[in-house]
Amino acid sequence: MRKQVLKWKQKGLSVALIPTMGFFHEGHLSLMRAAGSKADHVVVSLFINPAQFGPNEDLNHYPRDLEQDARLAEDKGVSCLFCPDAKDMYPPGFQTWVRVEGVSQGLCGTSRPEHFCGVATIVAKLLIIVQPDMAIFGQKDFQQLQVIRRMVRDLNIPVNIIAHPIVREPDGLAMSSRNIYLDAQEREPALSLVQALRLAEKMVAQGNRSGPEVIQAIKNHIQSFSNTKTDYVFLGDPESLKPRREIVGETLLALAVWVGKTRLIDNILLKQ
């Protein structure tokens, strides 16, 4: 992988990296199109990272379709699909981990305490291996994006991190590989997330600046649907990810909700 990138760079060509866990959907494809408009060559890594799954999470059942992924990536003009094995990324005796403090706390970090250590470590390894000029991440996992931004700044990694807007399905559900887990009866409750975000946006537009009131309205809306369980509703600073009681300036609203056995996340930036 590194030799190929070196050949491109010796010709003065730029390289973009898109880290993924595969099972591509339109959200992934939009990242590929964006990368293709910014760089001469696009590398998409496909690695289902065991280090970011907890002991009771869906690693063994995570959806996979390498043949389809390869076809979709090729159709989008991707130069290389990089698919390392777990034994190569985590060889015997592996003992070095990247842990980002601060922004990895709270939100998803509360219920998944080791998740972002696994994310930061694998992204650091991918950046070191590929050595891209830029790396593109979707904004759906806003906390992950901030963890990676912080890591890159703190470790002086010479790469430009680019955020890409959330891509949604026609009914508004944020695209995710895990959406395939939702059955027909769970589709409507799953829409409670985006509906809750829009409700909050409307409340702010009408002049409500109270964080507790907005959070309670969101919880009430989500709980009005059967088979839902709120993991968290967060209002806070989009840079530091510290909570706010009042919605001032640009404020991140992020939430995680269990719909049946599927955990979904979504977010929006509220603007005063």
Please check whether residue 100 is in contact with residue 151, taking contact to mean a CB–CB distance below 8 angstroms: yes
25 is catalytic: no
Rounded Cα–Cα distance for residues 14 and 128 (Å): 16
Catalytic residue among 25, 28, 41, 221: 28
- The Cβ of residue 51 has, within 10 Å, a number of other Cβ atoms equal to 18
Return the amino acid letter for 107: L
* Bridge partner residues of 52 (DSSP): none
Q: How far is CA 58 from CA 140, 223, 263, in A?
A: 19, 24, 10
Q: Two tokens at 107?
A: 């939100």
Rounded Cα–Cα distance for residues 216 and 245 (Å): 12
Which residues, in sequence order, are CB contacts of 4 under 8 Å at separation 6+?
A: 80
φ, ψ dihedrals at 197, nearest 5°: -65, -40
Annotated catalytic residues are: 28
